[in-house]
Amino acid sequence: MTPANVNARISGQPARGECRPAAFTLIEVLLVIALLGLGAMLMVNGASDLIRTREPRPDEIFWEAVTSARQLALEGNQTVVFKYDKEKHALSWSAKPEANHTLAYPGYLLEFLPVIEQGTVLIGGQLTETTVLKRVRFYGDGGCDAFRAQLTDAKGHRATLAIDPWTCAPIIATTP
């Protein structure tokens, strides 16, 4: 009998210095599948947001028009007149009558109100303003007339936006 070689290969185990055949463990395979699924879910969700278009809210349209009117006043160092046309449902602003900028404002009634509530009447349980401004001016220094904007939807629900006359930015109301 010959003595057994110490360096001889035992069945199923590689000898020293030899590499095992390359393979993935079950955990590695499951981890890759989970990561691919997560990536696919994020891609589908992001793509659906790109495809789905959201209607802009009336207050967003209003602030877009206010920002554009203020920008026009600042760039030209001039007074810009800002109005709401009820028949056309459009906001318009211009420094000169012939150069009119407009933005469609569908769905809501918009009224410019003075900051100081001078005349109010209680109608149907809602406090209604009697004084309405026909137009608002934006000035070349970045300021505007002191006013509030009241948005009324088809159901009669009202929302009032307060505007800072120094910066023409929204004033955030605090709840008592």
Domain limits of the chain? Answer: 24-53, 58-171
Q: Is the pTM of this model over 0.85?
A: no
Q: Is the pLDDT of residue 155 over 90?
A: no
**58-171 adopts what CATH topology?**
minor pseudopilin epsh fold (3.55.40)
Which of the pair, 69 or 19, is modelled with greater confidence?
69
Of 133, 173, 138, the C-alpha closest to 149 is: 133
CA distance 137 to 86: 18
* Residue 15: pLDDT band with limits 50, 70, 90: low
- Average pLDDT on 124-150 reads 79
Q: What is the pLDDT of residue 130?
A: 59
CA distance 168 to 145: 9
Q: What percent of the chain has pLDDT over 90?
A: 15
* Residue 138: pLDDT band with limits 50, 70, 90: very high
Which of the pair, 3 or 99, is modelled with greater confidence?
99
* Residue 5: pLDDT band with limits 50, 70, 90: low
- Average pLDDT on 125-130 reads 55
- Average pLDDT on 48-63 reads 79
Q: What is the pLDDT of residue 132?
A: 78
- Around 149, how many Cα atoms within 13 Å sit in the side-chain half-sphere? 27
- Average pLDDT on 84-108 reads 82
Q: How far is CA 169 from CA 8, 70, 118, 139, in A?
A: 84, 10, 23, 14
* Residue 57: pLDDT band with limits 50, 70, 90: confident
Of 101, 100, 158, 147, the C-alpha closest to 125 is: 158
* Residue 16: pLDDT band with limits 50, 70, 90: low
Contact yes or no for 163/171 (Cβ under 8 A): yes
